[in-house]
Structure 1
Amino acid sequence: MLKPDKLSLNIPETTKPRVVIIGGGFGGINLARKLPEKYFQVVLLDRQNYHGFWPLLYQVATAGLEPDSIAEPLRKMFGSDDYDDLHFRLVKVTGINPAARTIETIVGDLPYDFLVIATGTKINYFGNEQIKKYGFPLKQIPQALNLRSQLLQCFEQASMTIDQETQQSLLNFVIVGGGPTGVETAGAIAEMKKHILPNDYPGVDFSKMNIFLIEGMDRVLPPMSEEASEKTFKYLNELGIIVKLNTLVEGYDGETVILKGGEQIKTNTLIWAAGVSGAVIPGLPDESVERGRYLVNDFNQVKGYDNIFAIGDVAMMKTPEYPKGHPGVAQPAIQQGKLLAKNLKRIINKEPLQPFKYFDKGSLAIIGRNRAVADLPNNMHLGGFFAWVIWLFVHIMYLIGFRNKLVVLSNWVYKFFTYENSTRLIIRPFVRRGDRVSQSFINKYGGD
């Protein structure tokens, strides 16, 4: 690999206004798709070369899908003649200099006329360094693959130890966070326990396997309706998941979870799904940021600037309906990206800007086969099979690329009839010092 001083962003000079978009998530790609090249040069920057459909990331982690079925290369998405003046660069933005109107990267600076921050969120560990070190986050594809390997390694090791305490630790799984990611991950692991693991590991008594879901509030799925929360709690109980509400995690040393109040759970796997914060970039003043998100007006302009915008999860647009900002889901980002493309054109044409108005299409969560909840417009709440069908349809529709839609649909159809998760591959070394596996197992059985 070349050193940074041998590289540059290498963006062509232009006489058109340059729009720099930081982030290739839902907001960034919908903005880039709608910006007319007749008016703008578009530069899209991201730390990874693909757009991922993160609502299905938990299925990668639980061996239900391969990662390339929920991701699409950004260069493929913008490789046609329709995007001749759109330039993608695989680079991390390290700072913003609003006075100079430049963004900073390790391979050089880039001037902008309009800057759009669409960086989404990052994991929030709430200052707990132990959990950051030993827990398993679920926010990126490499993390999902790492978690998949961890789960499968635990089952493999459980089949090879006769020490009951060690085996129980390997078969205890703690998921922290009762939002959609936590609930869906817990349901997927429970489905594995019921339909897959007894056949794969006939020598292991999976009735001893425990799945703990820890939530700090008084109900699961806090962002959704109380009806959805109640149904979800019922489904989780039916799947044998141990739900602990009003419970906080104080620490985790890789072997023992310590709950507030003193309760301890021995486990080799703590999955952290308890919170995120906005992925803000250094350079803008503190008064432009609140609670880890950029304060924006009705046109998504960052407070204090008329040429810097933020969209999606990293933007906090306060309205009477959403005093704490819009929910951190795909729809606000998609809708803001599309509207901002129109508003940037209006700025060039010296036309009045159109304020953003969020259209809430509803919220969905799945807890296993035939078990899902849906909060739909007009205060409609569904649960069970019909909500499950809606969840399947919506997630297929929002996947990028025909191939991904076909692959995911065929996987789900195959799984529906066979109860099979076909991607049960361990893709990291079986036992290696430094891996998040049972230290007691390494001590007993060795490892390089």
Structure 2
Amino acid sequence: MENNFNLPRNNKKRVVIIGAGFGGLKLARKLSGSPYQVVVIDKQNFHQFQPLFYQVAASGIEPSSISFPVRKIFQSHSNLHFRTTELLSVNTDEQQIQTKAGALHYDYLVLANGVNTNYFGSVNLEKYSLPMKSTAEAINLRNRILSSFEQANLTEDTNEHAKLLSIVIVGGGPTGVELAGSIAEMRRYVLPKDYPELDFSKMKIMLFEAGPRLLNGMSDRAGKKALEFLKRLGVKVHLDTRIDDYNGDKISLSDGKELYTRNLIWTAGVSGRTTEGINGELYVRGNRIAVDRYNRLQGFNTIFAIGDACLLQGDERYPNGHPQVAQVAIQQAANLARNLTSQKEWKPFRYTDKGSLATIGRNMAVADLPGFRFSGVFAWMLWLFVHLMAIVGVKNRFFIFVNWAQSYFSRDQSLRILISPYRKK
């Protein structure tokens, strides 16, 4: 069945990487030119730049600008191969994976397949809320938000207006904070010009966080500044408040209160993906796979996990695991590539924290860098530069820069279009 993958037959050992995210892509590129045959498997044929999903959802940038074809990246690397399929199970005894396209042997297997949205067991929240963990979901969210305004423009029912113009965001991490700020700026500068018949002073943007503060992974100062910036933009922030249920119309809160909205966006949590064939006892906190200091699964010398998918044990600085951010995945990938290609003793992974950034709106951002913390215009400019440089592809960087420049000087975007999937009648 391995012939289904149409891979060159040679004597090279094969490294199979599951996932073309930050970690998987970095590892593959680091193994370019190595004595390995590298096969990357992902159900999408493009790399997605997750930190900017919220800007796609808020009509700030085009989806294509944060998506880059994996095959284009691999064009000049003869030992790198890509296959679009989905992992189903792992046979650790035979060193073989089963995918929707068939079976494939591996000498080394690297799980870099990230995480899923975590709804904490709520069936209704999973069914009715709007997630944002992929480019497709970001596009769907953009369509949903714009459709709500279009529907509000077609009715004179004040109750319907209130529901359609209310946007509730659950989760006070970087994604929730950045999305709330972006939509708030749309409400202030863009939407009144697009929909002059609607009264956007009645539009409510609410952010709910179950914990006592925003940006829990950053400093307390950053959380306080983010709260200050959001209030300045007119976002109603509710801390220490949990969403218990949602039926597509009514929200039930942990304090017994009820709210009504047609738009509930879920950014509250993530959970690791389980893979059939991997011992269930290896899954720990947050459903992440427990690995050692070399990112190896316990009991295996040929299976590894990197990035959000794993929880590295033995680092006294991070007893609950490293933060689930791109830099961890990138650094783990680089360290694993070094170990796989070096003739020297393997080097244990040690995370170097390069700092954290979050933007709330125009000229409003927070930065936690090693040794100092700051906020405001300079933090916002640093955020722009860091994210622009992290984008894959010069063309993508150019288009994003143009979109950002246009938005900054005109306080407008021209990407507010509804594109729904074609369905044959």
Out of 361, 372, 379, the residue aligned to residue 387 of structure 1 is 379
What is the number of residues matched between the two proteins?
A: 422
Give the aligned partner of residue 220 of structure 1: 214
Residue 313 of structure 1 aligns with an amino acid whose one-letter code is D
Give the aligned partner of residue 371 of structure 1: 364
Where do residues 128-143 of structure 1 align in structure 2 (5 Å cutoff)?
A: 128-143=122-137
Out of 239, 242, 249, the residue aligned to residue 255 of structure 1 is 249
**Per the alignment, do residues 307 and 375 of structure 1 end up closer, same or farther by CA in structure 2, a change over 3 Å counting?**
same
Matching of residue 181 in structure 1 with residue 196 in structure 2: no
SS at match of 2:324: coil
Of all paired residues, the percent bearing the same amino acid is 48
SS at match of 1:295: strand
TM-score by length of 1: 0.92
Where do residues 20-39 of structure 1 align in structure 2 (5 Å cutoff)?
A: 20-39=16-35
Superposed structure 1 runs of 4+ greater than 4 Å apart: none
Give the aligned partner of residue 63 of structure 1: 59
Distance in 2, matches of 1:331 and 1:38, equals 23
Give the aligned partner of residue 332 of structure 1: 328
Q: CA shift at 1:287, angstroms?
A: 2.4
- Is the Cα contact below 8 Å between 2:229 and 2:364 reproduced in 1? yes
Q: CA shift at 1:11, angstroms?
A: 2.1
Residue 138 of structure 2 aligns with an amino acid whose one-letter code is A
Matching of residue 317 in structure 1 with residue 309 in structure 2: no
Residue 121 of structure 2 aligns with an amino acid whose one-letter code is G
Give the aligned partner of residue 204 of structure 1: 198
After superposition, the C-alpha distances for 1:276-308 in whole angstroms (9 at most, x for unaligned) are 011232211122221211111111111111111
SS at match of 1:89: strand
Where do residues 37-56 of structure 1 align in structure 2 (5 Å cutoff)?
A: 37-56=33-52
Distance in 2, matches of 1:132 and 1:305, equals 35
Out of 334, 337, 361, the residue aligned to residue 354 of structure 2 is 361
Q: CA shift at 1:352, angstroms?
A: 1.0
Distance in 2, matches of 1:36 and 1:136, equals 38
After superposition, the C-alpha distances for 1:395-446 in whole angstroms (9 at most, x for unaligned) are 001000100110101110111000112110111289x9xxxxxxxxxxxxxx
- Is the Cα contact below 8 Å between 2:173 and 2:216 reproduced in 1? yes
After superposition, the C-alpha distances for 1:338-369 in whole angstroms (9 at most, x for unaligned) are 111110113xx3x3101111110100111010
Distance in 1, matches of 2:274 and 2:385, equals 33
- Is the Cα contact below 8 Å between 2:115 and 2:271 reproduced in 1? yes
Distance in 1, matches of 2:303 and 2:185, equals 46
SS at match of 1:137: coil
After superposition, the C-alpha distances for 1:107-144 in whole angstroms (9 at most, x for unaligned) are 21111000111011111111111011111000011111
- Is the Cα contact below 8 Å between 2:32 and 2:79 reproduced in 1? no
TM-score by length of 2: 0.97
Distance in 1, matches of 2:282 and 2:249, equals 41
Give the aligned partner of residue 142 of structure 2: 148
Distance in 2, matches of 1:287 and 1:266, equals 41
Give the aligned partner of residue 408 of structure 1: 400
Q: CA shift at 1:157, angstroms?
A: 1.3
- Is the Cα contact below 8 Å between 1:252 and 1:258 reproduced in 2? yes
Mind listing any 5+ residue stretches in structure 1 that lack a counterpart?
Answer: 433-447
SS at match of 1:15: coil
Give the aligned partner of residue 426 of structure 1: 418
Distance in 2, matches of 1:256 and 1:63, equals 26
After superposition, the C-alpha distances for 1:312-359 in whole angstroms (9 at most, x for unaligned) are 11111131111111111110111111111110113xx3x310111111
Distance in 1, matches of 2:192 and 2:336, equals 51
- Is the Cα contact below 8 Å between 2:2 and 2:102 reproduced in 1? no
SS at match of 2:5: coil
**Per the alignment, do residues 161 and 321 of structure 1 end up closer, same or farther by CA in structure 2, a change over 3 Å counting?**
same
SS at match of 2:7: coil
Q: CA shift at 1:36, angstroms?
A: 4.3
Mind listing any 5+ residue stretches in structure 2 that lack a counterpart?
Answer: none
- Is the Cα contact below 8 Å between 2:61 and 2:415 reproduced in 1? yes
